[in-house]
Structure formats: C-alpha cells, structure tokens
Structure 1
C-alpha cells in the first residue's frame, strides 16, 4: 500500500484504529453520497455534525473514517464498534486533518500541478486544461466544482498513485482562503482567468477581489503565471510583481503572449462550437471546442498555455479539445423535441458571466432568426452594490422578447420593469411560465445563482 491509513494519521497528527487500509481513495463529506469502499470525513458544519452520520456512512460501505476525537465522544461512537472500518482519529478539526493528509499524499505522488482561479471560467478552463494534458499524461482533476480547501483535499486523495498531472480549481469568498489552499497544495503553474464583481460581501470591491485572487501566486513552487491581460487590474499587478517567474498574458490587446485574433461561435444540430484563432510567438494556432460563447476564447487559450508549460503541443491540445463533451450548467446547449434551444447556464451567476450569457444568447438567436427568452435568477453575494449590478443586467436583457425573473434582487434594485419582463414569485411559477414560453419556440437562456435552483427549469424544459 503506497499511502496507508497509518501514513495519513501520521501526516495529520492523529491515531489510526482498525485494519490497515489504503487512504488514497474516493472520499465523501456527505454520508448520503458514500459508496462501497469510500472514505468518509466527519466534518462539523454550520447546520449539522458529520460525526452523527458515521454509522450511516459505514452501513453504505465506507471503509475508512476520518473524525475528531471530541466529535466521536459527543456522538457516542467508538472505533471498536466498527471492526471492519479503519479510523483516523485526530485532535484537530477534520478539515485541517483532511488537508494535511492530502498534502502529504500530493508530496509523495508529485504530479505536475496546475491551479486555476478567477471570477469566471474556472471550471471550463479546468476541463479544457485536463483535456489537453490527457493527450500526453495520466491526468487527474475534480469531478465537479471542488474548489474549497475541503474540495481540493478530496480531489487530491482520490487521485491514482500513477497520476502525472493534477488540475485544481480554487474558489474563494473571503481573504486568506486561496492562500491556505496553495499552502497545502502548491501549484507550479497558475491561471487567473478574470477579476470581476463577485462575492463582494466578503471582498468589498473589485480591488479586493484582485487581492484575493493574487493569493494563488503565493505558491512555494510557482514557476509560471497565466493571466487575462485584457483586465487592467491584472495587467497592472503583473507588470510590477512576480518578476522571478514566467508570466504569459492572454488577450485581444497588443502585447499579449497569446493574442486572440478571431473567435467564432456556432449553434447547429450537432450542438455548440466555439473556434478561436490565436497567435503565439509569431505562429498561428486554431482551436475549437464544444462550448458556447466568445468568452471561451480566453479559457481555451489559458488551457493552451498551461498545457504547453507541461510540454504538450498545440496540435495535441487541439485534439484534446475536439474530444471534449459539453459542460452541464455552463452553456450546455440542448434542442428539445419541439425544436427549442435551451441554453443551460443554471450553475451560477455574477455580473460578468451574466452579461456574457445574455450577449451570447442574443447573438445566437438573432443569427438563427429565433425568438429569444431568458429565465434569470438573482445574483447573490454582491453586497451593497447589488442593486446597481441588477439594474445593469436588466438593461442588457431589454432586447429579449420575454424575460422571466426570480429573486428579491430584481424587485429591490429599483428599476421599473418593461412589459416584456415578468417577476415570478416562486421557482414553480418561473418553471410554469418558461414552459409557456417554450411552446412559442425559439431560444431560452436559463441563468442565475445556484441557490435559486434553476436547474429545475432546465430539467422541465428539456425532459421532453
């Protein structure tokens, strides 16, 4: 066994009980998701305590449990009561113990490590980067948006010992979060996709967002920074800092290391396609991926630069992109039996991503001569500037034939609603009205903060 329960216990200063077993495996923090052979990390959350669900996790097949001694005592659980389960018992908080164990495992496997952060485009860039690297390496990345310290630890512990390249996604809503992640999981290559209004309740301003994102550059192993050089804040920060590492700017403006010269977006019976022609060191490169939206030109070029930093050629990157599948909740385009296009952007929203989604949907509908509708949820965590940003989005969507709105943010922003806007009182009402719009044909964009549950609207529109 390459990395055992005993090894993990030593890494986090804990004690192991029960049979020796491999610690590197799929781990869960939600007992309902546990499958046979998984590890279960008993985490104390704001609403409940994972220690209360250890028995359920064991019954569902967990064979390794990470828990706090105090939590076990409070739940009345003894490792001896589960003879077939290996326990790692720690005096630390489970989150810290999990990160320490994962950090030690990462040190032992020692893959090429790339980490991605930014206000938008993190997950898409992660998937593009993994697809490119997979043309040459055994790659591991998160199966979903595991972009917290717990999520990164779960991702690292689930990678195979033979992993040669690891791609991590780092999100944040408060200062110090990314700094802590790169302390445990230091990348050699980092990507900063964008700095835009997001999580302003925690950061106060876009300058605060910049400060938080730049924490990724504190990695002890940092060798290369890939960044959006069309963003003035990022461009300024890079021009005066980090002179000891390689910096590659991606953008449409002169001076970019990878210059985006042209981007084309198409929507056909085969689904969406975004193609980009870019120039790097005097050579022209053309890439295409099953994505929807001009913003993905940046994401594709970020991934190109990251793959090249690991020795993957542009030709190999292009093959990796061609083999990708669409990403659910992030511009996934589906055509219903009635011929209506549904653009699924239901995963999340901030002003930058909302503007891009509206712009892309409008362009696609108009190019195909289609009626256009949008079902929009409010944007959360924007602090005191929320009304201003919501008013801006209402203006951006003014040209749609119909716009369905969900959330108090739209009502509280103080803007009068034109006749083509409808403020829905509940998700069920929005779903009902969206189905009515679907009967009229055309294209329907669905986007909003994840907490509004707009995936239910996508399901209702596409289940036929």
Structure 2
C-alpha cells in the first residue's frame, strides 16, 4: 500500500489535527495494534475494548498516523472523524477505486469460503489475485481485506457474510462487484430473518452494489431466487447438478478426497476437485462461471480446481498418527448444508467404522427443534455405525433416533459434557475408522478434532 495523508484525509472527510506532515506515506492500515508496524495507519474501532485506548501503543510501534473520534491531548498526529468504522469503509472505497481491480463478491448460507478459494484459484492462473483471508467477511473484515490487497491486484475475490437484514447491502456498496454469486439459500440466521424467504432477500442484497454491466450467479434449483431475479437488470447466470442451467454438472465419481464431474459447456473435459461432495461441485461451477466471465482458459481452470487450497475447517480431511480419518466441517452449520454432507458421507466407502459427531446448529429460532429432528432423515444405521450428538438442540435429534439406533450406537452429551464426549469418542475409535464432525462454530467442535489428533498419536 502507498497512501498519502492527503489522500486519506480526502477519503475519510475528517479534520487534520496536530500539524500533519503531508509528505508521510502510509504503507498499511491496521485496527489491531499487534499488527501495527512502521508506517501504519491505525484505526481504533469500538468492540469489546475501545481501540482508542491503544492509540499511544500504536504510535510506539511505529504508526505514522491514526484516526480518532476523540480529541487527543498529546501531539499525536491524527485525523478526527465522526465514526472510525465508517471512515475505514470510506477509505476502502477510495483505495479500491485507486487500484481498480475487477471484483467478485460471494455470499450464501453455506460454501462461501470454499467458493472463494476455488474462484481465487481459477483467476490466479491468469491475473494477480487477492482474496478474503480467513473469515474476514463482515463490515470490518471486508474493508480490511480491500485495504490489505497489494497494489498490483487485478482480481479481488470478496466473501460477504451476514447475520441480519441490510448487512450485505453495506458490503456490496463498498465492493461494487463486477460479478456477484449466491452459493445457496439455507437456514442460517433464521432467528434474525424469520424465514428462508427472508434469508433469500438478505442474500439478494448483493446486487445492491453490483455494477450495471455485471453478472449475478445463482443456483438453478432455488425457486425463491428465481422469483427475485425478475426485476434484476444485470445478466443472470445459473448453475446446478443435472439441471437446465448455464453450467450444469454431472457427477462421475465421489471418493473421500476427490470428486470428478463433467460440465455441459465443456463436454471434452473431465474436472476433479480435491474435496468430497456434490455440494462442492456446485461451488466449483460458480468458480468456472466467474473464470468464463473473465476469459480464463479452460485448461487453466481445470488444473487450478484440481489443486486449489481449502481454508482450514471447511470440510477438511485429517488423519491421526494411528490411522483414523477425520472429516472436519466444524466452522458453521445449517440444516441444508448438514443434510448434504451427511448424505455424501453416508455414501462413501470406508474400511472401518463410520462415525458421525454432530453439534447444535445455532440461530434457527422457533424452528430449531423441527430442523434438528429433521436430520434423522439423513442418518441410517445401515450407513452410519455410531452417532454422537452434542448440545441442547441435538437432544431433540437424539430422541428422534432412539427408534432406529441402539443404545450402543447412539450417544448424547449435554453442552457441559464436552470432555465426556471427547473421552467416549476417543475410547471407541480404532485405526481405519472414519469420523465426520459438524456443528456451528459456537459449539467448539474444533476442540474435539484437536483432541482426537493429540490422543491418537
């Protein structure tokens, strides 16, 4: 990054204080003092702690400039603004326009991060590409991603997350994407949005900043979105499995660490992705549509999908030293996504026992009991050897499964019994067994994954 104080002042519409030297260059933007280095602009944000309390610490670490909502008593050079978060967002808009990359925005109830990873891999074969790091996908993380991209960036792939109505609108208007994609409509955040229609409307906010000449990509099998695109002025393209879509895939084979498929628009090509599941093929179709939009060669797209790097905890295969396979998908969960992965996991072939560990799906509101009970449709003793359920909502599923699973194969643990869950599960595992774990991130099943890796050396 290379921004002058004059540019920053113009972008954030603040007031210069304490004789700022306009020849100073800002080389990075940080809101975490642990990342501040010489030349940083420090932006204090208000969360559990007020970032203004750390301004002096940021200056000691080499920050050349800060933003502040308060008057500072010392001679610290700063720009006074009404709202530091809004100023950060305005600065991101300025920097995005200065660098001028093409922008891809990705949202959806599930698969955002995997789709982001696949899309960035496809684009990086041809363009200097930067993507959202980790899960920096909210009103802080998205502008921070923009402000962190290198000056030579040609393609910027941005993940957009939300909990409430109007949040995607803010992100889309900051990013002004050239291409916007919705992975699927699930049930995440039903508690806040009331219905799947409410969720679909919130995801469709991604078009609020979509460029007039841009393209919206949607799943072909989602009738709610099909109703909502009637008034969309931009081009709309679709994807699906064995369906009438712009890009339609046919699954050729599914294995633990690879799924192979063909695509209607490229009949001479066989594609492979190093992850499990039809749902991930849908994510790959989005990446192919984006690559096609930006004229990436089909051979480059095929090769990049076969080797892309997946962000940690997104349907990730791990193995203990003793030979137990772990399918970890513990970052988020909703009924649609959980059902899809359970169906795929049930179909794969393994050598030992096949074991499922499920934790609560959060923020489902008054439909939570029904949706947890509904997971029984995806769990059969013919396909799954043992089931471990964890959390107060999963007790409803445990009750539902009592008629199909025996007391020796169905295990339930209250939320305060995580240690018992870990110990019981660990004791019952043998080499060659395969374990699938999924829950909302707030249930902390990542601790169970780490425990298994440690305890089966």
Instruction: Tell me the TM-score normalized by structure 2.
Output: 0.90
Which residue does 2:223 correspond to in 1?
A: 232
2:80 corresponds to 1:89: yes
Give a deviation string over 1:368-387, Cα, whole Å, max 9, x none: 24311122210111111111
- The partner residue of 2:260 within 258, 270, 275 is 275
Give a deviation string over 1:113-155, Cα, whole Å, max 9, x none: 1101111111111111100000110011111111112111000
Within 5 A, what are the aligned runs for 1:320-359? 320-359=304-343
Give distance in 2, aligned partners of 1:332 and 1:298. 17
Aligned-pair CA distance for 1:360: 2.5
Which residue does 2:75 correspond to in 1?
A: 80
2:167 corresponds to 1:177: yes
Which residue does 1:452 correspond to in 2?
A: 443
Aligned partner of residue 7 in structure 2, secondary structure: helix
2:134 corresponds to 1:152: no
Give distance in 1, aligned partners of 2:158 and 2:165. 19
Aligned-pair CA distance for 1:263: 4.4
2:9 corresponds to 1:9: yes
Give distance in 1, aligned partners of 2:134 and 2:59. 24
Give a deviation string over 1:4-36, Cα, whole Å, max 9, x none: 2331222111235655544452x4434455566
2:370 corresponds to 1:388: yes
Aligned-pair CA distance for 1:217: 1.3
Give a deviation string over 1:406-451, Cα, whole Å, max 9, x none: 2221236683553222222333222222322334641111111111
Which residue does 2:184 correspond to in 1?
A: 194
For the 8 Å contact 2:180–2:210, the answer to whether it is kept is no
For the 8 Å contact 1:37–1:61, the answer to whether it is kept is yes
Structure 1, unaligned stretches of length 5 or more? none
Give distance in 2, aligned partners of 1:341 and 1:448. 18
Within 5 A, what are the aligned runs for 1:295-374? 295-364=279-348, 367-374=349-356
Give distance in 2, aligned partners of 1:408 and 1:305. 41
Most deviating of 420-429 and 346-355: 420-429
For the 8 Å contact 1:348–1:447, the answer to whether it is kept is yes
Which residue does 2:246 correspond to in 1?
A: 257
Aligned-pair CA distance for 1:359: 1.9
Aligned length: 442
2:128 corresponds to 1:138: yes
Aligned partner of residue 264 in structure 2, secondary structure: strand
2:31 corresponds to 1:29: yes
Q: Measured at CA, do residues 57 and 246 of structure 1 come closer, stay the same or move farther in structure 2, by a change above 3 Å?
A: same
Give distance in 1, aligned partners of 2:447 and 2:300. 37
Q: Measured at CA, do residues 80 and 217 of structure 1 come closer, stay the same or move farther in structure 2, by a change above 3 Å?
A: same
Aligned-pair CA distance for 1:41: 2.6
Give distance in 1, aligned partners of 2:97 and 2:106. 19
Give distance in 1, aligned partners of 2:303 and 2:168. 32
For the 8 Å contact 1:115–1:170, the answer to whether it is kept is yes
Q: Measured at CA, do residues 61 and 329 of structure 1 come closer, stay the same or move farther in structure 2, by a change above 3 Å?
A: farther
For the 8 Å contact 1:226–1:249, the answer to whether it is kept is yes
For the 8 Å contact 2:353–2:434, the answer to whether it is kept is yes
2:100 corresponds to 1:67: no
Most deviating of 119-128 and 1-10: 1-10
Give distance in 2, aligned partners of 1:353 and 1:38. 40
For the 8 Å contact 2:242–2:250, the answer to whether it is kept is no
Instruction: Tell me the TM-score normalized by structure 1.
Output: 0.88
Most deviating of 168-177 and 54-63: 54-63
